[in-house]
Amino acid sequence: MDIDRLFKVPRVPAGSKRKLPDNPTPEMLKKMRLDESTSSHTLSDPSIQEEPARHDGSRSRRTTVEDAPEDEDNMSFAPGGDADYYVEEDEEGRFYGGGLTSEQKDILSVFEKAELEGVSNQPEEVTITGIRRTLLRLERAVNKNQDQRSKYPDDPSKFIDSEADLDSSIKSLLPLAQSPALAYPEMVRSGIVSLLVGLLSHENVDIVIDAVEVFHELTDEDVGNEGDESEQEDNQPSLKMLVGALVENSVPELLVDNLSRLKEEEESDRQGIFHILGVFENVIGFNPDLSVQLVSKTKIMSWLLERIQSKTHDENRSYAAELLSILLQNSVSNRQELGKKDGVEVILKVLSQFRYREPIDADETEFMENLFDALCSALAEPEIRSLFLASEGVDLMVLMMKEKLQSRSRSIKTLDYAMSGPAGAELCSNFVEALGLKTLFSALMGKATKKQKATAPASEDISHVLGIISSLLSNLPSDSTDRMRLLAKFVESDYAKVDKLLETRENTLNRLESVDAEIEAEKKELLSEGSVIGSEDEDLFYLRRLDGGLFTLQTLDYMLAWIAMEDDGIRAHITQMLERKNLSLKNIVETLRSYHGNINMDVSDESQRNDKVQAGVTRRAILENLIAYLEGCS
């Protein structure tokens, strides 16, 4: 065979080689494949001979190429010793080498095999037999991994197989959340819960994250909700059993310890922290009393306060604010712990960034709202109010009210919570000194700056504005300069503020009449069916009336009675305006009597009993004096 003739091919013209762009389109790749295929067939067809001379006298040269016999031994000459270099082919027909050594391919094969086993071993329908098999597989995987790690602590290649199997076994527990009533008691009985808890201290952080994800999934509030109501009721005892086992095995403490272990720069660690916060939310949602234990026995409060101060906003920062709000909702001890950790100062510092700017998106808006809610919950304690005053919280809220951003409504709400009751007396004086009256009454009247259009304040804002004015009237000393400045606001501009209160009262009455009509219709329907309307039903109807406008009406009439008693000119103006609507001061007295009779001083929390009782006694005494005065005027 003439080797020189065999490999004598035409010289490739310079510069004619086709180059791929950085991002070739599928159409380009397909066209190149067709071109390559055509070229390949041309070279391999022995029937193609040299073409005849063209009309211009030139001759196009074609070469017949014979297939060389394959030499299987040549496979050993693949670059890098990659055995798959010549056999890997993608869907477009081109060949590429894997670029992996044999050892690397073996490691990948182990993980691929474990992943496939994990999928195949997950039962489509959860049965007690399948549950026990899954739990047994996990137990064996844990024991094998521990054994391999103890034997070869410095050689990861020796225990990498068991680690992959353990990862698969842990994830196979996720489907058990579909049948809590069946799976959870078996998990507790078999000791698998304790085994999983032990994995929270595993040397491999990925294994820890797997265990946390399982706890998050198993404690979700929606577990087992696919069934009917009877099945969902059966799930509650099982979930209670699981949560009890987690608490008994010190899961909250271990999870908080892992918060500092995980590094949020890594995506997997960031997801792990998200799952940890999710476990806390689930457990507290199932049993709110556990929030006290979580704060008292762990460093979760310090971690949350540190996390919300992050300069960059992300999902976990928002979740931290939400969990902080949950912890402070119904726990006096948690609120006091917030004060000890300088939490009021931290929250105010974080909120101050929203004084001049809006949140960048819905997630940051929720973050801001959760911090305001946490602050409002904490302000129920006198100690927190003192810290709020010392940290110039009133001044910050007044400044936020002036800017009229999204934080404006929340700042009004916060001031309402802070200044209410006898414990808010000092903050009321501070509010006046901070020049808050002008901003407050601008919010009442719906005024705006030159850059903004004047709009009617939202109903929620009106409710809190009225609450602040009510607290000022109750707490400011009678002969003080601050009280004189407050009353002057109602007199100025020919009693414009009084007219606004009366206008709001009329709108509230119309709304309340609609709610009362609905309630009366429901009562008639119940009576026609032979049902008896008991005291509990009446309490529910009363709560509906409060939400439907009765609470706002009570606040308005309380304020109107105060300013009528304080100033004769205001009283005469109120009487005149009421008569135009065929009303009188007796209508205000009627509202105040109902208000007086429904002040509830029963407090279940002993730590709050004295404060609530004192506030109730004070409000009742004020109402009695106001009623007596108005009855004497009518």
Of all residues in the chain, what percent carry a pLDDT higher than 70?
74
On whether the CB atoms of residues 135 and 187 are closer than 8 A, the answer is: yes
196: nearest Cα among 212, 216, 182:
212
Each residue's pLDDT tens digit, 550-577: 999 999 999 999 999 999 999 999 999 9
- Locate all alpha helices (DSSP H) within 330-391, ordered by sequence: 332-340, 343-351, 362-378, 382-390
| pLDDT score of 27 | 52
Place of tokens 């076994």: 169
Each residue's pLDDT tens digit, 27-50: 544 454 445 444 444 444 444 444
Among 304-318, 324-338, 436-450, 615-629, where is mean pLDDT lowest? 436-450
| pLDDT score of 158 | 83
What residues contact 276, with CB distance under 8 A and at least 6 apart? 212, 216, 255, 256, 258, 259
| pLDDT score of 121 | 45
Compute the distance between CA of residue 256 and CA of residue 250 in angstroms, rounded to an integer. 10
| pLDDT score of 375 | 97
| pLDDT score of 612 | 61
On whether the CB atoms of residues 167 and 114 are closer than 8 A, the answer is: yes
Strands annotated E in 22-105: none
Greater confidence (613 vs 278) lies with 278
On whether the CB atoms of residues 258 and 272 are closer than 8 A, the answer is: yes
Each residue's pLDDT tens digit, 344-383: 999 999 999 999 999 999 999 999 999 999 999 999 999 9
Place of tokens 């995506």: 267
Average pLDDT, the chain: 82
At residue 316, does pLDDT exceed 70? yes
437: nearest Cα among 410, 476, 405, 406:
476
Other CB atoms within a 10 A radius of the CB of residue 136 amount to 13
Q: Most confidently modeled of 54-68, 212-226, 581-595? A: 581-595
Each residue's pLDDT tens digit, 217-228: 999 988 755 555
Compute the distance between CA of residue 364 and CA of residue 369 in angstroms, rounded to an integer. 9
Each residue's pLDDT tens digit, 238-271: 999 999 999 999 999 999 999 999 999 999 999 9
Which whole number is the average pLDDT over 230-235? Answer: 65
Each residue's pLDDT tens digit, 109-144: 665 665 555 444 444 567 899 999 999 999 999 999
Greater confidence (297 vs 118) lies with 297
On whether the CB atoms of residues 567 and 487 are closer than 8 A, the answer is: yes
Each residue's pLDDT tens digit, 271-292: 999 999 999 999 999 999 999 9
Q: At residue 53, what are phi and psi to the nearest 5 degrees?
A: -65, 140
- The pair of three-digit structure tokens given for residue 626, joined into one six-digit string: 């106001």
Which whole number is the average pLDDT over 400-407? Answer: 90
Compute the distance between CA of residue 224 and CA of residue 407 in angstroms, rounded to an integer. 39
Looking at beta carbons, which pairs linking 352-355 to residues 24 or more positions away fall under 8 Å? 352/396, 354/400, 354/405, 354/406, 354/407, 355/396, 355/399, 355/400, 355/403, 355/405, 355/407
Which whole number is the average pLDDT over 438-454? Answer: 71
Each residue's pLDDT tens digit, 144-186: 999 988 988 888 888 888 889 999 999 999 999 988 989 999 9
